[in-house]
Amino acid sequence: MISQIKWLKWLYLLLALLGAVLPTLSNIEFVKSYGSTFDVQLFIQLANNNPASQSLSRDLLIGSTAVFVWIISESKRLEMKNLWIILLSTFTIAFAFSAPLFLYLRELRIEEINRN
């Protein structure tokens, strides 16, 4: 069980890195294709342009909202510090980055609690 937890921690960190890089590359491509700035209104419009993209957008919105509420609750339960980093990175980088980063930091906190 202990080795599984350590392995999981590194998987979360890898997913956080991918969650930062891959959406950022897509955002850069969006800016290259649609103007010199990140037009949020256009981005949302394109994300809801057809039924498939609407389904993905709504799925992400509902799922990420539920996980976001859990992140806040779990961080308080575990008395985790620096929650603001997770909250800020959700909106400045990507949820695909902040959620696995939180899981990585959560595993570190659980290890710390178990050592004491």
Confidence (pLDDT) at 105: 97
Within its chain, how far is the Cα of 73 from the centroid?
16
Phi and psi at residue 48, to the nearest 5°: -125, 25
Confidence (pLDDT) at 36: 86
For residues 9 and 100, give the distance between their C-alpha atoms in angstroms, rounded to a whole number.
9
Q: 3-state SS of the chain? A: CHHHHHHHHHHHHHHHHHHHHHHHHHHHHHHHHHCCCCCHHHHHHHHCCCHHHHHHHHHHHHHHHHHHHHHHHHHHHCCCCCHHHHHHHHHHCCHHHHHHHHHHHHHHHHHHHHHC
Average pLDDT, integer, range 97-115: 96
Domain boundaries, the chain: 2-115
pTM value?
0.89
Question: What digits encode the pLDDT tens for the residues 68-102?
Answer: 999 999 999 999 999 999 999 999 999 999 999 99
Query: Is residue 1 scored above 80 in pLDDT?
Result: no
Confidence (pLDDT) at 3: 59
Query: Is residue 49 scored above 80 in pLDDT?
Result: yes
The alpha carbons of the chain give a radius of gyration, in whole angstroms, of 17
Does 102 or 115 have the greater pLDDT score?
A: 102
